[in-house]
Amino acid sequence: MVRLLFWIAIIAAAVWFWRKFKSPAAKQQRSAQPDAALMVRCAHCGVHLPQNHALSSGQAWYCSQPHLEQGPKSIQR
């Protein structure tokens, strides 16, 4: 019984050390990824798209030129 507990403790310690020393490398890889784009909602149809692809008119954002020309539309849900 003591041997079984000993081996369980050894395995648990090995897993703990492996996770502890593995995590800094994973954090460095995640920080190297670019930030997510800011998403905006089309004032006409409600679709979400990246802000750098959207067209703006004042405080409103639109997904396409026709929607920009048509203006905002109230969405009933």
Q: How far is CA 50 from CA 29, 38, 45, 56, in A?
A: 24, 6, 15, 12
Burial level of 54, CB count in 10 A (0-12/13-18/19+)? buried
Q: Which residue has the higher pLDDT, 26 or 45?
A: 45
What pLDDT score does 37 carry? 82
Contact 42, 54 (CB under 8 A): yes
Residue 24 has pLDDT above 70, yes or no: no
Instruction: Provide the residue type at 13 as one letter.
Output: A
What pLDDT score does 19 carry? 87
CA-CA-CA-CA dihedral for 50, 55, 61, 63, to nearest 10:
-70
Q: Which residue has the higher pLDDT, 26 or 21?
A: 21
pLDDT digits (tens, 9 = 90+) for 34-70: 677 889 999 999 899 999 999 988 889 999 999 999 8
